[in-house]
Amino acid sequence: MGKKKVIGVTNNQAFKVEEVQAIIVPKFEELSLSKVYKKILQKYRNVEDYMPQYEEEGYMPPRQFFWDVLNTLEPQFIKKLLNNAHSK
């Protein structure tokens, strides 16, 4: 598998390292990126501004990167999402 070619970031948004609110998200099936990535981008359109865009169809960012960005932007949503996942 070759390297993926980055074609840019949608709106060139970025955080300083000290601004990122890292989070550990359990590897539950209902929290897999293949299940939640597109739904979350539709609900929280600002998240996509922080995601790199690749030429490859169906690209998903690294799991930890995605959850850290989402937690930084939408911490209340993450808290609710994790509580719901833990209760199942």
Asked whether residue 10 is assigned to any structural domain, the reply reads yes
pLDDT tens profile 31-76 = 999 999 999 999 999 998 888 877 777 788 999 999 999 999 999 9
Q: What share of the chain is helix, strand, coil (3-state, %, to 5)?
A: 50, 10, 40
State the chain's maximal CA–CA distance in angstroms: 40
Residue 6 has pLDDT above 70, yes or no: no
Asked whether residue 46 is assigned to any structural domain, the reply reads yes
For residue 88, the model assigns a pLDDT of: 67
> What are the C-alpha distances in Å from 34 to residues 19, 21, 48?
26, 22, 15
Asked whether residue 1 is assigned to any structural domain, the reply reads no
Asked whether residue 12 is assigned to any structural domain, the reply reads yes
For residue 14, the model assigns a pLDDT of: 80
- Domain with 57, as residue range(s), is 6-86
Q: In whole angstroms, what is the distance from residue 11 CA to residue 68 CA? A: 18
Contacts of 46 (CB under 8 A, 6+ apart): 13, 73
Number of structural domains the chain divides into = 1
